[in-house]
């Protein structure tokens, strides 16, 4: 016997002499009323229109009910709103507010051709799944999987959105590189056990510039953490230099990216680098005088002590030349903490103390951006069998991040939410209950009078709408 999922009446504990009952009869009500802010952001950035252009559609035009733009918009908005699974869309396909975001004119779905689809304006999980599983090689001839993504176009779009965020070219930018684990729980293609993370996982490479995401590349964890970095930097920096030929470009990363091929490439192409350097006996010996000084200071004061040393260094085998190294001699209560970085940035631009404290340590902020995407926008939801399909899921998560960051950049300045992370933005600004009412001339959204951030919400909307709308070139 099947259970009744939506009982006619829900009985709750009474209030005095009165019964407390609930019914699923409220009409078209959404829990995502604030999502229209994301729609306004996209009207200014043009992300979803261009994202759709990164796909080739081989379906018959006369048979299409959901355009490519509507499908990718549904997927990206779903992730931004917290719906990580394709199965969620079997219910969300009836959501009129999500249909409004996607651009459906029939918000109720009553105009659908097939009887079984009436009342469902959006696509279900099976249609979205075919979008993810299509391949460029077979899309034209396949019976169902006929919409294929162009990865190169998707990569270019991430960088284009970043470039467009500046009114004038900046004098200097820093590109942060990092790798992280993406745990796997099935038999996905490219699955390997990683000794450091102690699990089966992927090892995606991320590149950010400040809060802007420029690259999210899925890789098997059998590769080195820096694998593919030079190729990604060539692509991204080449695209940046076409638009900003005079901008000084630097890269930054932890010791996992301290590889001779990366440093040599940067030196050849006039790119600054600042990379962590794993300590060894030779490096620690070079720092012994400074360590003795800070140890004596710590014993005398009982406080943490820190000194820096600037010197030239070359490995015995792996480096092709000598390079500038800065060592940090530090003693903390209960432990010593020597650290090293290697750079080609000259001393007249940054002395040892500034190089480490002001330029290198800020690298840790990138980890917050990765956490935003993985924990808040489900970049680690890579559960399909094929690596290519999982990379496409990572792209969808990446563009959900672009929209959320666009809202933060265009709308949240001057409000208490200016530095909020994606999960906080979703909870406080997007997850707003609202009743939807459609008339001939208007679509009405009625929000709760008790919503505590109503004034901020109005200000955020005004901030976003103060920017001009994006229009296709030409």
pLDDT in tens, the chain (474 residues): 344 455 578 899 999 999 999 888 788 889 999 999 999 999 999 999 999 999 999 999 888 999 999 999 999 999 999 999 999 999 999 999 999 999 999 999 998 988 999 999 999 999 999 888 988 888 888 988 999 999 999 999 999 999 999 999 999 999 999 999 999 999 999 999 999 999 999 999 999 999 999 999 999 999 999 999 999 999 999 999 999 999 999 999 999 999 999 999 999 999 999 999 999 999 999 999 999 999 999 999 999 999 999 999 999 999 999 999 999 999 999 899 999 999 999 999 999 999 999 999 999 888 999 999 999 999 999 999 999 999 999 999 999 999 999 999 999 998 999 999 999 999 999 999 999 998 889 999 999 889 999 999 999 999 999 999 999 887
Residues with Cβ within 8 Å of 36's Cβ and at least 6 positions away in sequence, in order, are 97, 100, 101, 445
Q: Which of 34, 97, 88, 78 is closest to 431 using CA atoms?
A: 34
| Strand-strand pairing, 443-447 and 323-332 | unpaired
DSSP state of 256: G
Give the domain ranges of the chain.
Answer: 29-151+377-465, 165-373
Token digits of residue 113:
């051709």
Task: Identify the pLDDT of residue 62.
Answer: 87
Of the candidates 384, 370, 395, which has an alpha carbon nearest to the alpha carbon of residue 79?
395
CA–CA gap between residue 253 and residue 145 (Å, rounded): 39
Residue with tokens 């005088």: 289
Q: Residue 425 CB: number of other CB atoms within 10 A?
A: 25
Per-residue pLDDT at 3: 43
b/e burial code for range 50-66 (CB count within 10 A of at least 16 → b)? bbbebbbbeeeeeeebb
Yes or no: say if 383 and 428 are a contact pair by the CB < 8 Å rule: no
* Residue 28: strand, helix, or coil: coil
Distance CA 394, CA 374 (A): 9
Q: Per-residue b/e over 308-321, b at no fewer than 16 CB within 10 Å?
A: bbeeebebeeebee
Give me the residues paired with residue 56 across strands.
148
- Are 193 and 434 in contact by the 8 Å Cβ rule? The answer is no
Spatial separation of the C-alpha atoms in residues 357 and 306, rounded to whole Å:
11
Q: What is the pLDDT of residue 472?
A: 87
Separation of alpha carbons 108 and 118, rounded Å: 8
What per-residue confidence (pLDDT) applies to 464?
97
pLDDT at 7: 58
CA dihedral 46, 52, 55, 57 (to 10 degrees): -140
């Amino acid at each position: 016997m099947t259970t009744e999922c939506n009982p006619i009446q829900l009985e709750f504990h009474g209030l005095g002499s009165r019964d407390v009952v609930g019914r699923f009869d409220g009409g078209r009500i959404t829990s995502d009323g604030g999502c229209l802010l994301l729609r306004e952001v996209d009207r200014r950035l043009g992300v979803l229109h261009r994202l759709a252009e990164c796909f080739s559609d081989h379906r018959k035009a006369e048979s299409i009910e959901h355009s490519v733009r509507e499908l990718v918009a549904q997927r990206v908005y779903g992730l931004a709103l917290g719906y990580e699974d394709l199965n969620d869309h079997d219910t969300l396909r009836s959501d009129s507010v999500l249909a409004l975001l996607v651009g459906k004119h029939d918000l109720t779905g009553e105009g659908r051709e097939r009887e079984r689809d009436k009342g469902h304006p959006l696509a279900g999980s099976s249609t979205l799944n075919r979008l993810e599983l299509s391949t460029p090689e077979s899309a034209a001839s396949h019976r169902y999987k006929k919409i294929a993504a162009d990865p190169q176009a998707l990569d270019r779009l991430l960088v284009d959105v970043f470039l467009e965020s500046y009114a004038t070219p900046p004098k200097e930018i820093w590109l942060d590189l990092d790798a992280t684990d993406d745990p796997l729980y099935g038999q996905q293609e490219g699955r390997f056990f990683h000794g450091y993370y102690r699990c089966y996982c992927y090892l995606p490479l991320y590149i950010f510039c400040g809060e802007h995401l420029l690259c999210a590349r899925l890789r098997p964890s059998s590769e080195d953490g820096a694998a593919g970095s030079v190729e990604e930097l060539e692509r991204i920096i080449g695209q940046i230099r076409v638009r900003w030929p005079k901008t000084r470009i630097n890269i930054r990363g932890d010791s996992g990216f301290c590889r001779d091929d990366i440093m040599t490439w940067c030196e050849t192409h006039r790119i600054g680098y600042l990379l962590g350097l794993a300590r060894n006996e030779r490096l620690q010996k070079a720092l012994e005088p400074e360590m003795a000084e800070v140890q004596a200071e710590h014993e005398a004061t009982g406080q943490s002590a820190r000194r820096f040393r600037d010197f030239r260094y070359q490995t015995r085998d792996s480096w092709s030349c000598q390079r500038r190294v800065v060592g940090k001699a530090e003693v903390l209560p209960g432990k010593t903490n020597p650290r090293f970085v290697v750079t080609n940035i000259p001393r007249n631009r940054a002395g040892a103390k500034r190089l480490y404290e002001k330029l290198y340590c800020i690298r840790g902020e990138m980890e917050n951006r990765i956490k935003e995407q993985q924990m808040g926008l489900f970049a680690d939801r890579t559960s399909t069998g094929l690596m290519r399909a999982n990379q496409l899921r990572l792209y969808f998560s990446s563009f959900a991040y672009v929209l959320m960051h666009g809202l933060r950049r265009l709308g949240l300045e001057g409000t208490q939410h200016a530095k909020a992370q994606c999960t906080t933005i979703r909870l406080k600004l997007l997850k707003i209950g609202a009743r939807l009412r459609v008339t001939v001339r208007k679509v009405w959204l009625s929000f709760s009078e008790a919503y505590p951030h109503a004034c901020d919400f109005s200000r955020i909307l005004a901030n976003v709408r103060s920017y001009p709308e994006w229009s296709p070139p030409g």
